[in-house]
A and B are shown apart, each in its own frame.
Chain A
Amino acid sequence: MVAEGWDDDEALLAALQQALRARRAVPAEFVEAAKNAFAWHNIDAELAQLTYDSTRDSDHALSMRAESASIRALTFASAHLTIELEVTQDSLLGQIIPAQAATIRIQTSAGTETALSADEIGCFSIHPIPAEPFRLHCQAFAGIDVLTGWVTL
């Protein structure tokens, strides 16, 4: 009743060899990066979901080519806050809605964090564009504490 011929000694030994080989084939840095991702496990903020991504919108892709420097537009929404992002050639422009001053922290998958401020109308600019996956942690007055999903640009 053993699966895949594992009741046979030769087959079991060959399967074990294959299993160990499959693990060795995975580069050490790949595994290491995966282990480091756990650094972000304990963040207690409201999650903002991606509700719009221009790369998934073919109408938008067409209009973009015609006009501006904007390469990609993203919107994250939570119950208390919406964050709109616009990717340009060399920076990332953002706005918080409803408009308000806030502290924005850029967290990268490598574990770094950079803080900047959004002005009274909720605008902020990130320069240069993070090269690795990142997310934004937005804290405003009145206890608003929102975290976006991960973005790769």
Chain B
Amino acid sequence: MLSLDKITYAYPFQDAPVLRDISLSVKPGQTILVTGPSGGGKSTLLRLMNGLIPHVHGGQIQGRLQLAGRDMAGMLLREISQKVSTLFQDPAKQFLALTVRDEIAFALEWRESDPRVVAEKTELAIETFGLAELRDASIYELSDGQKQKVALASVAALSPKVMTLDEPTANLDPQASADLAGHLARLKSQGVTLLIADHRLAWLRGMVDRVIVIDHGRAVATGEWSILEDVDFRKSFGLRAVDLPGCEGVIKVNAESIDSLVLWDNLTFGYRGRGVLFENETFRIPPNAVTALTGPNGCGKTTLARLMAGLIKPKRGSLQLRSNPIRPGDLLRTTGMAMQNSELQLYQRTVLDEIISAGAGLDIDAAREWLGRFGLKEFASRHPQSLSGGQKQRLVVACAAARAGELLILDEPTSGLDGAQMYALADLLEQRRSAGRSSLVITHDIELIARVCTHEISLPLNTESPNHEPLEPQTLQETL
């Protein structure tokens, strides 16, 4: 179906190739996992396969790339996209319509000449992906998992031969990842070739036919799933775990007996015109702890984090810091917070200025030390917005950590991080805990929770069981 013969590629205006000497042959119906450290060239390889390189990104390609027996160099993007569909990490950024039905029909409308065929294929995709109840829903109303499902339905409706997926589970909770895996398994059984680039591996167990590990632009290892079972191999390339660990040691923070660093008592909060989100709830962050804040999308995790940071005031509730009543605004002085969307949190001229600006009173040496801890020292004089996505994310976390006094809050800090970077973040959180400081981490990442979190706040509070049950390998295989 797809073959790459000694492909070397360099982006425009760059001398060093991003991919070097990559050869690969993909048979119809195979599922290929492309993994490896961040910045290794995974996404670039996918862009070559879906035609975005060279048609959109340009650059210099050496070697031969074939799709269904045809040389891709002579194919238009339109021709390639009729055979190869693409699912991005953040589906919301690829939607061009306002409702679920319109979004699924959108690409079909450009490809089919008969409106009845468009309608039939749209309805079929809606039913196949279990979206009947959401048919006329606005895309704003969807959770991240539902958005990913809609995006998948819209590309599957085109009946592609090949589907490329770039970190499709980065923003998904374990349940949504399992749902996605189930849908992909069905597509695979229908003969669709799947090319998946991802750091998270556990959700793919049982589905992958072949693994390619890419590091510094080279295919450093290829083989079956079993090559990933070797712990030393994974460690040498900074890969994540292949089985999700359990979180048995993590303490639920709903118990009254737990001490509090920050305590919101009788908290009532709701956004104007959208009803009440929390009503007479009590939330506490324990001292000397790393607390995971978990729960499905839309349950109020980010809102609670903003309350804990003192960014918003509730309708009702009393706030205490180390048992002393304080005002929400006072929390701002002692809290560092890294939110999602890193580019919205960077506005200085250089990376060094950025961290100096964030860490109040930080001198240049200390700032450089912080950059070094996050592998950003060599970029000190670069403009923050010129960094890659992963580097920006690390810079934002570094800024928050440099500023944080009593409390550090991180919102989904590991989406898009490889194993080594995730472990480095876990080490930072552990160091803070050892130094008697607390951290609150909004995350779906079971590996991070199991590795470093001591406590967990699971929203909504009135649910009996945690809503992020680690997926056992058997469970996933049953799903598949």
A binds B: no
List residues of A whose CB falls within 8 A of some B CB: none
